[in-house]
């Protein structure tokens, strides 16, 4: 006999059955969706929400709430049912009835920013787990900064077999284990079923051993025995390590014909089977009907946190940290960082250092790091190459949570996803580095950052064939174009130290989307002698005008190739051909400018217009209506950078030659 047989005056099983009923009915109505997972995890979720999760449905953004991440995002009806039943304003019954319909609050997979109470966008399996690691990191850091009175919450994850099969789970759990993120708990929906059938078709991993090997506390429970679930959750709360709880469950629990099979995974059960399931569960309501007493009990669960939130608000009011806490969550210190960056830009404009843009970025970070305590840096084991560590910055470790630099290890995917989690948590602004060629490893999480609209800043160095000797594996060719293809991602490729500072300003200012800085390994000359206005802010601008007559040639370039364009301009001017140079550090921002400005920068359509970037030309023709492009059409080669540039014909001479050819054509 279960000890948790009653919750808020009703049978605990009925609370779980309400979730099951809504999941079945919504999927049936939509004629698509995933009923099996919500039905399997309904009992565990009921225990979590009714006994452990710190939340107040009336204030989904309470900063000290526990974070709940549904990493197995296909089970979205579990989350929507919980949000509805506990009384989130955003989730009336009508929205449940409109599951998966255009404009509803109940899209197929949970979308952050679309539905209150959804902490992160999930669906791409495994990423939610890594988001949660980032959330737990943010919590631990802010706890060190502001104390238990203001920051003291947990992060809970529901992950499925699929999340644990994904490679990112290994990266994420290893990072969490190393960091001893003891306020992180993963409930694994251990139902041994995925889409194709039994998990054993493709996987015999001892998941528990895997987590244990990376420093986790590992527990098991019967996912349908609420006492057993509560016992495990209770032990997790007391652990000094992150905890995995293997919840042994039956997918589609309650369905006479489909429970325990992959048939329950991702399709409606059908009216007959729903009726049979409801009968088997002892549930009498028709479609979308929840008995009043069950509804009332869930509502009470939804307001469990009201008192605690009130007490928290009182503590904040009285706290010495109040202003700093508010500033951290509202991003108020960004302004000071912008000033520091402006000072650095002014200095660079005056001193004109010939630096690699990664070094300029490093100096920019150095200049602003003190002004913006919310910045949390890091790198995927490339700190000395990425120039991401401001001098004197201490590491974030279990012993020193106040540290502001994270050793992510060689885990680009989880790093990017953890950065998303940190940004979603709030109170911190994550930036971190790797080589641009490995943007491919981070890409799925960068995509979700763009979809969610969160401020994660990627510092990606070694941005072209200019990498040199490391060769084609390390020389990005198609990455910049591929990144520009992601909606709502700003890709910055600064040309010198002034632009590097400007691009950093723009990345910090973007609180509704991610940014990526593509930065060079090799030194490049200073090009700007005036930093009084942020010229990068308009995406592209005229760096040098034509001289000696009407401009005949416009050379448009980014990053280190702007210096080549400047040299090509000298060659052309010397031959009496008036030539302009346009620097284009951010296509996305240029695209946002009004037509007048764009026309002004692009110039007379009769001009010969040439683009140059040491990468593929995809996107260039559309953006700038160029007539020719000097860049890459194949993979690079291993040799000193200068030789590689010459080998692939990316030189000032080649640009000038192309311009003359077009003028003569």
Check if the beta carbon of residue 506 is closer than 8 Å to that of residue 515: yes
- For residue 441, the minimal CB distance to ligand TPP (Å) is 14
CA dihedral (582, 588, 590, 596) in degrees, to 10, reads 150
Q: What are 460's strand-pairing partners?
A: 434, 518
Which of 400, 372, 425 has the alpha carbon at shortest distance from 139? 425
Q: Which of the stretches 119-127, 206-214, 485-493, 522-530 binds ligand TPP when contact is defined by CB under 6 A? A: 119-127
List 20, 54, 67, 74, residue binding ligand TPP (CB under 6 A): 74
Residue 344 tokens read as 């650095």
Binding to ligand TPP by residue 35, rule CB under 6 A?
no
d(CA 297, CA 49): 12
175 binds, among Mg ion, ligand TPP, none (CB under 5 to 8 A by kind): none
Indicate the SS3 state at residue 567: helix
412 included as an active-site residue: yes
Residue (161 or 412) nearer to Mg ion, CB: 161
Phi (first) and psi of residue 379, to 5 degrees: -160, 155
Residue 394 tokens read as 């201490």
List 117, 134, 162, 426, residue binding ligand TPP (CB under 6 A): 162
> What Rg do the C-alpha atoms of the chain give, in angstroms?
28
Binding to ligand TPP by residue 258, rule CB under 6 A?
no
Binding to ligand TPP by residue 160, rule CB under 6 A?
yes
Which of 449, 408, 456 has the alpha carbon at shortest distance from 428? 456
Binding to ligand TPP by residue 342, rule CB under 6 A?
no
72 binds, among ligand TPP, Mg ion, none (CB under 5 to 8 A by kind): ligand TPP
Residue 246 neighbours by CB distance under 10 Å: 20
Binding to ligand TPP by residue 251, rule CB under 6 A?
yes
Pairing of strands 155-160, 193-194: unpaired
Which of 85, 83, 86, 93 has the alpha carbon at shortest distance from 115? 83
> How many CA atoms are closer than 13 Å to the CA of 342, on its beta-carbon side?
10
List 33, 36, 110, 177, residue binding ligand TPP (CB under 6 A): 36
Kindly name the residue from 119, 166, 171, 412 that is annotated as catalytic: 412
- For residue 42, the minimal CB distance to ligand TPP (Å) is 13
Size of the site for ligand TPP (CB under 6 A): 19
- For residue 125, the minimal CB distance to ligand TPP (Å) is 4
Binding to ligand TPP by residue 619, rule CB under 6 A?
no
- For residue 129, the minimal CB distance to ligand TPP (Å) is 11
List 64, 119, 161, 588, residue binding ligand TPP (CB under 6 A): 161
CB closest to Mg ion, residue no: 161
Residue (258 or 278) nearer to ligand TPP, CB: 258
Q: For residue 164, what is the enclosing H or E element?
A: helix 161-165
List 22, 70, 72, 269, residue binding ligand TPP (CB under 6 A): 72
Binding to ligand TPP by residue 193, rule CB under 6 A?
yes
Residue (265 or 404) nearer to ligand TPP, CB: 265
List 86, 104, 143, 191, residue binding ligand TPP (CB under 6 A): 191
Residue (37 or 480) nearer to Mg ion, CB: 37
Residue 492 tokens read as 């910055």
CA dihedral (505, 511, 513, 519) in degrees, to 10, reads 20
Which of 239, 242, 236 has the alpha carbon at shortest distance from 214? 242
CB closest to ligand TPP, residue no: 160
Residue (42 or 526) nearer to ligand TPP, CB: 42
Residue 656 tokens read as 């000038």
- For residue 77, the minimal CB distance to Mg ion (Å) is 15
Residue (50 or 71) nearer to Mg ion, CB: 71
Binding to ligand TPP by residue 124, rule CB under 6 A?
yes
Q: Which of residues 261-290 bind ligand TPP (CB under 6 A)?
A: 265
Q: What are 608's strand-pairing partners?
A: 553
DSSP 236-272: HHH-SS-EEEEEE--TTTT-TTTTTSGGGTSS---HH
- For residue 12, the minimal CB distance to Mg ion (Å) is 24
Binding to ligand TPP by residue 194, rule CB under 6 A?
yes
Annotate each residue in 75-114 with x if it binds ligand TPP (CB under 6 A) or - if it does not, as one string. Answer: ----------------------------------------
Phi (first) and psi of residue 51, to 5 degrees: -125, -25
CA dihedral (131, 137, 143, 146) in degrees, to 10, reads -80
d(CA 255, CA 281): 9
- Enumerate binding residues for Mg ion (CB under 5 A): 160-161, 191, 193-194
Residue (123 or 254) nearer to ligand TPP, CB: 123
Check if the beta carbon of residue 402 is closer than 8 Å to that of residue 141: yes
Q: For residue 609, what is the enclosing H or E element?
A: strand 608-612
For binding to ligand TPP (CB under 6 A), which residues are involved? 36-37, 72, 74, 123-125, 160-163, 166, 189, 191, 193-195, 251, 265
Catalytic residues: 412
């Amino acid at each position: 006999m279960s000890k948790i047989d009653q919750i808020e005056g009703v049978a605990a099983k009925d609370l779980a059955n309400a979730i099951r009923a809504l999941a079945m009915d919504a999927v049936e109505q939509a004629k698509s969706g995933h009923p099996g997972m919500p039905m399997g995890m309904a009992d565990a979720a009921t225990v979590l929400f009714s006994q452990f999760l710190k939340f107040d449905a009336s204030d989904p953004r309470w900063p000290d709430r526990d974070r709940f991440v549904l990493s197995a995002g296909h089970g979205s009806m579990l989350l929507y049912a919980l949000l509805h039943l506990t009384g989130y304003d955003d989730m009336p019954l009508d929205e449940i009835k409109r599951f998966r319909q255009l404009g509803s609050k109940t899209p197929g997979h949970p979308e952050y920013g679309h539905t209150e109470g959804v902490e992160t966008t999930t669906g791409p399996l495994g990423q939610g787990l890594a988001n949660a690691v980032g959330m737990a990191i943010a919590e631990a850091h802010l706890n060190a900064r502001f104390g238990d009175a203001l920051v003291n919450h947990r992060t809970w994850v529901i992950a499925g077999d699929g999340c644990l099969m994904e490679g990112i789970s290994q990266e994420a759990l290893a990072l969490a284990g190393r960091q001893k993120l003891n306020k992180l708990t993963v409930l694994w929906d251990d139902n041994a079923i995925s889409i194709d059938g039994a998990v054993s078709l493709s996987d015999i991993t001892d998941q528990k051993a895997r987590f244990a090997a990376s420093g986790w506390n590992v527990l098991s429970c019967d996912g349908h025995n609420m006492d057993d679930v509560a016992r495990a959750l209770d032990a997790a709360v007391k652990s000094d390590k992150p905890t995995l709880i293997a919840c042994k469950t039956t997918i589609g629990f309650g369905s006479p014909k489909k429970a325990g099979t992959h048939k329950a995974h991702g399709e409606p059960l059908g009216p007959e089977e729903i009726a049979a399931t409801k009968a088997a569960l002892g549930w009498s309501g028709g479609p979308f009907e929840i008995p009043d007493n069950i509804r009332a009990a869930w509502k009470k669960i939804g307001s469990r946190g009201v008192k605690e939130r009130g007490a928290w608000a009182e503590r904040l009011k009285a706290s010495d940290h109040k202003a700093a806490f508010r500033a951290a969550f509202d991003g108020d210190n960004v302004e000071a960082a912008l000033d520091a960056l402006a000072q650095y830009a002014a200095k660079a404009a005056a001193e004109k250092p010939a630096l690699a843009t990664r070094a300029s970025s490093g100096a920019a970070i150095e200049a602003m790091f003190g002004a913006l305590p919310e910045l949390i840096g890091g790198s995927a084991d490339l700190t000395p190459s990425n120039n991401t560590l401001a001098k004197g910055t201490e590491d974030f470790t279990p012993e020193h949570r106040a540290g502001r630099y994270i050793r992510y290890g060689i885990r680009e995917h989880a790093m990017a996803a953890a950065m998303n989690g940190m940004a979603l948590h709030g109170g911190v602004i994550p930036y971190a580095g790797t080589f641009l060629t490995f943007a491919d490893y981070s890409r799925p999480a960068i995509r979700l950052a763009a979809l969610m609209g969160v401020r994660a800043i990627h510092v990606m160095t070694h941005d072209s064939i200019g990498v040199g000797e490391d060769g084609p594996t390390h020389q990005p060719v198609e990455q910049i174009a591929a990144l520009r293809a992601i909606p709502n991602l700003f890709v910055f490729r600064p040309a010198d130290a002034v632009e590097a500072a400007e691009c950093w300003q723009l990345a910090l200012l973007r609180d509704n989307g991610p940014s990526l800085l593509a930065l060079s390994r090799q030194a490049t000359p200073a090009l700007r002698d005036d930093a009084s206005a942020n010229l990068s802010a308009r995406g592209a601008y005229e760096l040098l005008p034509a001289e000696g007559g009407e401009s005949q040639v416009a050379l448009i370039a980014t990053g280190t190739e702007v210096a080549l364009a400047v040299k090509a301009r000298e060659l052309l001017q010397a031959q009496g051909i008036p030539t302009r140079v346009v620097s284009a550090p951010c296509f996305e921002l240029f695209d946002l400018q009004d037509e007048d400005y764009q026309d002004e920068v692009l110039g007379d359509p009769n001009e010969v217009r040439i683009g140059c970037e040491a990468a593929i030309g995809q996107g260039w023709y559309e953006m700038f209506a160029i007539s020719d492009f000097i860049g890459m059409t194949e993979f690079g080669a291993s040799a000193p950078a200068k030789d590689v540039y010459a080998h692939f014909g990316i030189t000032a001479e080649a640009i000038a030659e192309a311009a003359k050819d077009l003028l003569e054509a």
